[in-house]
Structures are given as structure tokens and as C-alpha cells.
């Protein structure tokens, strides 16, 4: 896995909207925050556009992504929001362009598709807060993103959860939004199971929808081959009494037979506590009385 260079003060960071349209005011707020980080934010031509539910046509969104990739002055690319639409771009980007122009791609939610694109090309990327968070929040997650972009590798420690499965694992961290990952199953952008510490998060999905997607991972043998599992935040849903168990208990039922660590309620997802994670990095997950996740950028 290739790691893009970390940023220096004054480096240009390009803001693009590869998926849904966004309130331009949120992009302006994110730009202000990035300026305060002593970076040089520049908006893509169509970042503030609108075309139906999208920020632009496929060609317009692809233009902004490719221009950011090709421009040697751009050292990182931050996606303004998720929504839906990134999947339109995957087969239109030559992975060799990514390999020859290494730079950090930042985002989460629907941007999970672009993380899959980056990892398919052998490039690490950042599952991290986007424009709304940067415009409205000045918290640990935003500070951690700044530090990571400037080369300070995080080590996260969180409180224990009663459903955790204790243990220690080292592997390549991969994952993101569960629905997006499910939509990439069976394609060249699907993640390899062996040696993977998988992290998942979701928004607005019924518990039985989540169980259905995880059954796909189980029956395909993927869950059995993982090195570890990080269950992030699942938001904007209601527990289903007809399922007889909570969503976290449903997830645990599907993985507790495997001999690897599982951590619940990790701060990643559609929440303010959305810790930046390095997709494609070698990570170590230790779960005991507390849980730690650390990264190593060297083999």
C-alpha cells in the first residue's frame, strides 16, 4: 500500500463534491477552517453546483476529481459531502493516475466508494470528517484530521463496551459505510477479507437491512476470514422489537463464533465523534478493559 506525502503549511487542498449537492455555505465554512489550519483550500469548478440530487453531471464531477488528481500543486482532496453518486466515477478513473499522483483523499459515507477505488489502486486514504463537520465543529475529530494531514499518526483509546470480544489483531484497516460496501460486493472494488480489520458504520438502515447485508458477508465466508471487526456508529434508525435483540446484539450473533477481537460503538460514522481512520494502513486493534486502535505506516 502506498501512502501519500503528508502536508506542509501552505499546501493546497482541493475541495470537490463527487456525490450529492451541498449548501455552498458549508463549503465556505470548511474553506475558512482549512485556512485557519494554514493550508491553501481551493474549490473545484463544480464543487458548489447542483444537478438534480447531485453536485453536477457525471462529467462535471469526474472533471473536478481528475483535475485534482493531475494537478501537482494539490496535496490532498477533501470531499464536501456524501449522499449518492461517487459510484458513477469508479470505472472512469485509471488506477495508474492514482498511483502516479499520490495524494490524500478525505471523506466518508458515500465516499466509501472512492476509498475502495483508492485501495484498488494501492493507495491509502482518509475516512474522515467533511465540509459540514469542518464548518460547524471545532472538536477532537477535526483536530485529529488536521494532525493526521500534517503527519501526526493517531492512536485512539476508547472505553470498553459490554458486547466487545477481547483480543488483539493486526491487519490492514478497510471499510466504511456498510451499504456502499455491500453495493461493491463481487466487483474489483470489493475488499479482500484475509488480513483485514474491517470497520463499518451506517445511517438510516433498519436492523433487518443491516442483518441482511452482514449475512451476505457471513455466507460468503468473508466474516470468518477477517482479522478483526470495528463496529462504528449506526444512526437514524429505531430498534425493532420484532427482531427480539438490539442491533448490536444482532451483529454480535453473526460474529461471536470467530476468534478475533470485535469492538462496538467505535466513534466513526455519521456523528460528531467521527475519528479519522487511515484506510489501507496496517493497524493494531487491542480490546481489553479499554480498546485501542493504532496505525503503522511501515511494514
Give the DSSP letter of residue 75: E
CA torsion through residues 161, 159, 192, 169, sign? negative
Let me know the angle formed at the C-alpha of 44 by 268 and 131, rounded to the nearest 5 degrees: 25
Backbone φ and ψ for 89, nearest 5 degrees, come out as: -95, -15
CA distances from 41 to 33, 77, 94 (A): 9, 9, 25
CA distance linking residue 283 with residue 175, whole number of Å: 13
CA distance linking residue 176 with residue 111, whole number of Å: 9
Residues 6+ apart with CB under 8 A from 226: 171, 193, 196, 197, 198, 258, 260
Angle of helix 247-255 versus helix 207-219 axis, rounded to 10: 10
CA distance linking residue 232 with residue 182, whole number of Å: 16
Would you name the residues annotated as active-site residues? Answer: 109, 201, 270
Beta bridge partners of 123: 2
Residues 6+ apart with CB under 8 A from 239: 207, 246, 247
Q: Quick check: 123 and 99 in contact, CB under 8 A? A: yes
Residues 6+ apart with CB under 8 A from 52: none
Amino acid at each position: 500500500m502506498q501512502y501519500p506525502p503528508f502536508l506542509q503549511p501552505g499546501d493546497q487542498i482541493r475541495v470537490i463534491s463527487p456525490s450529492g449537492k451541498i449548501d455552498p455555505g458549508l463549503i465556505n465554512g470548511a474553506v475558512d477552517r482549512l485556512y485557519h489550519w494554514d493550508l491553501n483550500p481551493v474549490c473545484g469548478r463544480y464543487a458548489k453546483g447542483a444537478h438534480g440530487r447531485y453536485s453536477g453531471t457525471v462529467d462535471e464531477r469526474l472533471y473536478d476529481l481528475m483535475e485534482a488528481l493531475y494537478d501537482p500543486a494539490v496535496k490532498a482532496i477533501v470531499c464536501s459531502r456524501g449522499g449518492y453518486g461517487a459510484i458513477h466515477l469508479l470505472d472512469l478513473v485509471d488506477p495508474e493516475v492514482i498511483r502516479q499522483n499520490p495524494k490524500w483523499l478525505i471523506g466518508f459515507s458515500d465516499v466509501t466508494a472512492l476509498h475502495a477505488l483508492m485501495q484498488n489502486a494501492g493507495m491509502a486514504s482518509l475516512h474522515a470528517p467533511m465540509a459540514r463537520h469542518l464548518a460547524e465543529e471545532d472538536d477532537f475529530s477535526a483536530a485529529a484530521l488536521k494532525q493526521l494531514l500534517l503527519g501526526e499518526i493517531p492512536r485512539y483509546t476508547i472505553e470498553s463496551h459490554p458486547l466487545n470480544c477481547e483480543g488483539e489483531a493486526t491487519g490492514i484497516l478497510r471499510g466504511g459505510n456498510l451499504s456502499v460496501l455491500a453495493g461493491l460486493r463481487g466487483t474489483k472494488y470489493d475488499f479482500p477479507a484475509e488480513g483485514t480489520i474491517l470497520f463499518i458504520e451506517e445511517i438510516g438502515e433498519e436492523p433487518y437491512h443491516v442483518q441482511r447485508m452482514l449475512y451476505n458477508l457471513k455466507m460468503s465466508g468473508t466474516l470468518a476470514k477477517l482479522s478483526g471487526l470495528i463496529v462504528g456508529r449506526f444512526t437514524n434508525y429505531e430498534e425493532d422489537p420484532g427482531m427480539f435483540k438490539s442491533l448490536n446484539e444482532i451483529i454480535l450473533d453473526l460474529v461471536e463464533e470467530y476468534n478475533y477481537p470485535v469492538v462496538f460503538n467505535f466513534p466513526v460514522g455519521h456523528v460528531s465523534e467521527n475519528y479519522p481512520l487511515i484506510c489501507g494502513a496496517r493497524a493494531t486493534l487491542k480490546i481489553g478493559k479499554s480498546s485501542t486502535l493504532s496505525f503503522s505506516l511501515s511494514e
